[in-house]
Amino acid sequence: MAFCTAINCMDGRVQLPVINYLMERFGVDYVDSVTEPGPVKILAEQAAPALLESIFNRVSISTDKHSSKSIAICAHADCAGNPVDDQTQKQQLIDAVKTLQDKCSGVEIIKLWIDENWDVQELP
């Protein structure tokens, strides 16, 4: 049984696209999901310590107990929890990875953008 980890928005429209993409991308059986409204905002701005801690706690269960070696941080078009333009969200993705890298060593972290057609794009 192999797991990876998704830090995804709570939005129901992005759950299955992200899970399907990640099962294929990492060849895993299961995707552990850590969801918040607009998680890239929380990780990029680091303005809500309790929320950050909650995300890190849940990610560490996935990496420690399920031996997940790969984390995807996700943002999407038309996000109600993070109503800023797409370019701002993509910058938040970059900043969110930096925040995660400080906490999660030895795991691969990728950035996913889910567009207005609910297609998943992996950003470089």
9 touches Zn ion (CB under 5 A): yes
Q: Does the footprint of Zn ion cover residue 79 (CB under 5 A)?
A: yes
Contact window for Zn ion (CB under 5 A) among 39-47, 75-83, 84-92, 111-119: 75-83
Least Å from the CB of residue 81 to Zn ion = 5
Q: Calculate ∠ Cα 13-101-56, nearest 5°.
A: 60
Q: Could you give phi then psi for residue 72, rounded to 5 degrees?
A: -110, 130
For residues 67-85, one letter each, b for 16 or more C-beta atoms within 10 angstroms of the residue's C-beta and e for the rest, the string is: ebebbbbbbbbebebbeee
Smaller CB separation from Zn ion, 28 or 97: 97
The answer to whether residue 77 forms part of the interface with Zn ion (CB under 5 A) is: no
Residues of this chain that bind Zn ion (CB under 5 A): 9, 11, 79, 81
